[in-house]
Amino acid sequence: MPDEGLVVEARGADLLAVRFTAMASPCEVLVPSMSHHAALAIAAVAAQETWRIEKKFSRYRDDSITAWMHRNRGIAIEVDEETAALMDFASRCFDLSEGLFDITSGVLRRVWRFDGSDRIPDAAAVAALLPLIGFAKLQWNPPRLLLPEGMELDFGGIGKEYAVDRAYELLAARHTIPFLVNLGGDLRANRRPSHGPWQVGIERPDTEREPSLLLDLEHGALATSGDSRRYLLRDGVRYGHILHPGTGWPVPGAPRSVTVAASSCTEAGLLATMALLHGSRARAFLDEEGARYWVLQ
């Protein structure tokens, strides 16, 4: 069944939501009210693309391309075109952010566990990981990659936004009806529904359910970076989960979350992530970029 794992529900009189779960997040495709099988047929394309990307790039799966690359450290391997495109994109982002955005910084998770406790890692343990971080240390000659021993790649920082854009493109190539693809809060819509703009809620950091901000979106993408529930607290100091790839320590003064509007979800997500990496300069960075954004401090 192409629509297995999909659930349709009405959202008011005018909208249907087709819900599914992917990338450990609640996902949905919103369409105007129509027959359920039509809505399922539309959403199934988006869900299958999302699941495909999750399966291919997940760092939690043994059969993912990420796991395969990790198994082949130290030897030159040739990657497929989609993986190469993502590697190229990560490379451009590393350059543009002057090293701030780095898909090799995931190794820091070995010492940093943001579980709300006060377990701050030992400075020496953090320092010991720094040699394993740095996109420039990879030998990336598309499509050939040599991943040095001990290093890790993590597409988690761009995978969800990429999946939103991919699912969006597939639906846009097929339909002209208004639709919105929402993968765990990162979303993109093609056009305004006839009854009024899409309404998107952004969560307040201190409450889980109550949206603190309701935005009207006609078309375009929104992406949110940051997670208000992932932090450590010690001696009254809050350690946010955004780690600087150069120091291995949380970026001081980083907002709890940043939401950015842009034409694609990938662009919105990168702007939001880069803003967090600018710490207390997050707003200034977004202002300089001329971005439309919402910051929860």
- State the residues that interact with another protein by CB under 8 A: 8, 10, 12-14, 31, 33-39, 41-42, 45, 81-82, 84-86, 88-89, 92-93, 96-97, 162, 165-166, 169-170, 173-178, 190-192, 196-197, 216, 219, 262-264, 266-267, 270-271, 285, 288-291
In the bound complex, what is the minimum distance in angstroms from residue 158's beta carbon to another protein?
8
- Report the candidate in 5, 41, 2 with the shortest Cα–Cα distance to residue 179: 41
Q: Name which of 236 and 290 has its Cβ closer to another protein.
A: 290
Q: Name which of 85 and 146 has its Cβ closer to another protein.
A: 85
Q: Name which of 90 and 254 has its Cβ closer to another protein.
A: 90
Q: 10 Å Cβ neighbour count for 259?
A: 24
Q: Name which of 69 and 126 has its Cβ closer to another protein.
A: 69
Within the chain, where are the H helices? Answer: 36-57, 65-71, 81-96, 123-129, 156-174, 265-277, 282-289
Coil vs helix vs strand at 75? coil
Contact status, residue 182 vs residue 23, Cβ threshold 8 Å: no
Q: Name which of 50 and 264 has its Cβ closer to another protein.
A: 264
Q: Name which of 12 and 211 has its Cβ closer to another protein.
A: 12
In the bound complex, what is the minimum distance in angstroms from residue 64's beta carbon to another protein?
17
Task: DSSP letter for 251, please.
Answer: P
In the bound complex, what is the minimum distance in angstroms from residue 132's beta carbon to another protein?
25
CA angle (189 as vertex; 29, 271 as ends), nearest 5: 115
In the bound complex, what is the minimum distance in angstroms from residue 179's beta carbon to another protein?
10
In the bound complex, what is the minimum distance in angstroms from residue 8's beta carbon to another protein?
8
Cα–Cα distance between 223 and 183 in angstroms, integer? 10
**Hunting for tokens 């200034």 — which residue is that?**
284
- The residues near 250 (Cβ < 8 Å, ≥ 6 apart) are 239, 240, 241, 242, 243, 244
Cα–Cα distance between 99 and 89 in angstroms, integer? 13
In the bound complex, what is the minimum distance in angstroms from residue 93's beta carbon to another protein?
7
